[in-house]
């Protein structure tokens, strides 16, 4: 999932999210998740797609913290709403 997000393969990410046992919160060795990578790199379409997934951990992730650091009120609202 993270590899597909890194390459901005929207349709592949969408298909992967349909897999029954996909772990949307899986992190790599550095603690980076698909959501944190999408958020940190401005891949907002992918970020919104991931935020729509049940069980996604958004409050414990870097996206909310990064949005707050940057004062990005719109992204903060999107993260909290999801």
Rounded Cα distance, 80 and 82, in Å = 6
Q: What is the mean pLDDT of each run of 10 residues along the chain (82 residues)?
A: 98 96 92 89 93 81 73 83 72
Please give the model's pTM, rounded to 2 decimal places.
Answer: 0.74
**What is residue 57's predicted lDDT score, i.e. its pLDDT?**
82
Q: What count of residues does the chain have?
A: 82
Cβ density class 6-28: b for 16+ within 10 Å, e for less = eeeeeeebeebbeeeeeebbebe
So what's the pLDDT on residue 58?
72
**Residue 37 to residues 5, 20: CA-CA distances in angstroms?**
7, 22
Q: What pLDDT does residue 82 have? A: 66
CA distances from 57 to 8, 60, 71 (A): 20, 6, 21
């Amino acid at each position: 999932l993270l590899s597909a997000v890194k390459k901005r393969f929207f349709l592949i990410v969408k298909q992967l999210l349909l897999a029954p046992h996909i772990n949307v919160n899986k992190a790599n060795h550095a603690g980076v998740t698909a959501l944190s990578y999408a958020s940190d790199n401005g891949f907002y379409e992918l970020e919104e797609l991931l935020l729509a997934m049940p069980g996604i951990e958004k409050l414990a992730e870097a996206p909310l913290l990064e949005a707050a650091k940057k004062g990005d009120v719109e992204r903060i609202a999107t993260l909290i709403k999801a």
